Amino acid sequence: MDFRLSDEQQAFAQAARDFAAGELEPHAARWDAEGIFPRSTFTRAGQLGFCAIYAPESIGGLGLPRLDATLVFEEMAAVDPSTAAFLTIHNMATWMIGSWGSDTVRENWGPALASGEKLASYCLTEPGSGSDAASLSTRAEKRGAAYVLNGSKAFISGAGDTDVLVVMARTGDAGPKGVSAFVVPADTAGISYGRKEQKMGWNSQSTRPISFENVEIPADCLLGREGDGFKFAMQGLDGGRINIATCSVGAAQGAYEAARRYMGERKQFGQTLAGFQALQFKLVDMLTHIVASRQMVRLAAAKLDAKDPDASSYCAMAKRLATDLCFQACLDGQQIHGGYGYLKDYPLERLVRDTRVHQILEGTNEIMRVIVARQILEKGADIR
């Protein structure tokens, strides 16, 4: 078992680190304060391949493993978790379109999404179905050579600012087998966007509800076959949980590095903070939790890449562990900064706000425990 990154992986991570330093870090605080969706930055990310890291090469994606994607998202999240998180969502939607889209859909959208010229949102959550995603009620009815969508979605990242939507809608009976997935141009007649949500964090990406009223789309906008949607959604969520866990690891790494620098600079009682053992221990605990979370996330990514039958459980465990431990690491970094950590002049308060939602989205951490509990108690899986 070799935990070392290859030379190629290290170079890929360095490219992401350089991009984050040059394109994200100088602007992250302003994007957060002013609620700016940095569209041109995503285009520049696409030029480096960061908009389609694990999407198929047939649409212009890099076709890399999920493990390699974690390297990119971690580096970006270390300075801007909000913008990095939207990039993970776009990658997931692009991968879905590239993997299961019709020839027409792949030709129309694939290269543009892979290059960052166009951006995508993922539409699963509804006002009445969050953790219970299989109960979604948005419906798509087949009418001749088209489907007609009616319903609504909630908490959609990028809604109103993106070009295409991957929408989960019901085409059959109640339950997961009645759900299908569709690719819907974001400006199609009958689509309306609600107000931009005012959020605690994630302010560089817009979040809005979406309503569909008699939205007609061609039949070839269906991803895969009717009834495949929930299966696609769950596969997407496995990867999404790795992605958001990775963003937590990156944010915690950023908090740790800021806290370490601050401890070497700030003086109290005649010595730097680095001379106080209590703060030394807090810094060491931060780093230990970050390293443990990073390794768990990479293990889960490797399981997903290998199509391991227990991959879903590993993704759930990694998401639960990393988002809990790394949020606490951000809090600890803020505590080390004292009163300065509460000011927007320092990145700690933004890192804390941006990572709080990671324990909620892509399935709450309580749901992560439910997933693993079912796997080990009802199905008798031997996870080791």
**What are the catalytic residues?**
362
Tell me the angle at which helices 66-77 and 277-305 cross, rounded to the nearest 10 degrees.
150
Q: Hey, is 288 helix, strand or coil?
A: helix
Q: Could you give the CA distance from residue 175 to residue 260 in angstroms, rounded to a whole number? A: 50
Q: Could you give the CA distance from residue 360 to residue 102 in angstroms, rounded to a whole number? A: 33
Q: What is the DSSP string of 120-153?
A: EEEE--BTTBSS-GGG---EEEEETTEEEEEEEE
Q: Could you give the CA distance from residue 111 to residue 117 in angstroms, rounded to a whole number? A: 8
For residue 359, give the DSSP letter.
G
Q: Could you give the CA distance from residue 147 to residue 254 in angstroms, rounded to a whole number? A: 46
CB 16 within 8 A of CB 53: no
Give Cα separations from 14 to 19, 86, 115, 150 (angstroms).
8, 20, 20, 45
Q: Could you give the CA distance from residue 339 to residue 375 in angstroms, rounded to a whole number? A: 44
Q: Could you give the CA distance from residue 327 to residue 366 in angstroms, rounded to a whole number? A: 16
Q: Could you give the CA distance from residue 73 to residue 244 in angstroms, rounded to a whole number? A: 9
CB 243 within 8 A of CB 69: yes
CB 296 within 8 A of CB 317: yes
The residue among 332, 330, 327 whose CA lies nearest residue 357 is 327
